Structure 1
Amino acid sequence: MKALKLIGLLLDYPRDELWQRSEALRAALTEVELPSGRAAQLSAFVEDLLALDPMEAQERWLALFDRGRAMSLLLFEHIHGESRDRGQAMVDLVETYRRAGFELDTRELPDYLPVVLEFLSQRPAAEVADWLHHIGHILELLAARAVERASPYAQLLETLVELAQGRVELEPMRRRVASEARDDTPEAMDAVWEEEAVRFGVQAPEDDCQPPSRFSAARPASYPTSTLMDSAPAR
């Protein structure tokens, strides 16, 4: 589904390439098959994004998705938290990609939502429906939190919920998240830094841009059952 690839692209960190390829991005909007209301929202999101200065858009993304764990786009963060099961789930998910004929070509973790969406955009409809069903509870959680934070990214997440569940009914989830303590405040982040061990390394992280596609196609293969199980989000 082209809609999944486009939404995944828009949920990803907004690199300068988006502005350099703005016309191609607008052209992609015309190929997306969504209900007219959702398609209009998607188009409006793109225009609002492109109207921002890249650094402003990047700061907005970081403020939502990279400060605290509540809005993490790493799906296993919400299923396994920091348990040992998370590592094995990562291994299983990479193997799932490989058995489907794809290799990760990125530094992102395999459970990063934009990676998952790009993968699903290349899979048959029945498999897409199965995956979206399994991660539907996480999408609802993220969408409800984004709504509570009045983020424009909420409409992207709501669209995914609609694709996964066939409808968007976030009020029960919104009531739940409304009582949550925010983990993206300076005080909460300071507390996390105090609790976590400091790690030193001799090699600086790479700063090159990721390739346009995270997967390199290999031979077609059978697709196993999704490893993103219908678990309750980690608390």
Structure 2
Amino acid sequence: MTRSAFLEKLEKELKQYKVPDVREIIEEYEQHFAFKMEDGFTEEEIAGKLGNPQEIAAQFDTAISGDKRGTNRTIAVIGLFISCIAALLFFILLLAWGIVLGTFSISSVVVAFSLIAEVNPGSLIPFMPYTSAVTFGIAIAALAILSAIGCIWFAAFLRQLTRVYGRFHHNTMAAATGKPILPSVAAYPNFQAKVKRRLRRVALISISIFAVFFILGIILSILSAGSLGFWHAWGWFGYMR
């Protein structure tokens, strides 16, 4: 079944059951199709995994007795409260990692600029000939771009995880109270195909530049210092050969 056929049938069934907010439900399923198609699934495969539109619509009309609904709701609230505490700690850890990743990216930019522009605030960067400094600077600049792409992906991933947990929260309460259950949300971020290709291309170029110039920097440093341990020859660790 194609996407349009599935959505048309689902909308028809929902209206027959007189389900409120039909348009909102259809939009959720449209988004689900879009995400899965970005992952390479065909319309028929997605529709097959979702199931029969009539059965999906029927669940919106399922009634739960008042006593059982109240009991289920209480259990769901307690369970969600516990999961919220765990989720909060998890998201705090993820946010901390995002801050570390962002700090690393900014630091790489500063170091690359300092090496290329021969700026050494506080003498934090050890001595090296300018040719080595420029070469390493280009390598670190490429690393900064790569880490920036990582920051973009991680921010999108964190946002998507928030949506996943929000959907889990909604569906848990919906199952306990007899309300509509919406389709699950993919955990990984879905960029537009064009954006995804560009990010992948820039990442691959950055990795290549970093690898080439980092190795070249080591070779130039060895030749310039006349020693495999060029860091010792230049007294980086307080040791002079």
The higher radius of gyration belongs to 2
Q: TM-score surpassing 0.5?
A: no
Q: TM-score, normalised by structure 1?
A: 0.23
Relative to its length, the structure with more helix (as a share) is 2
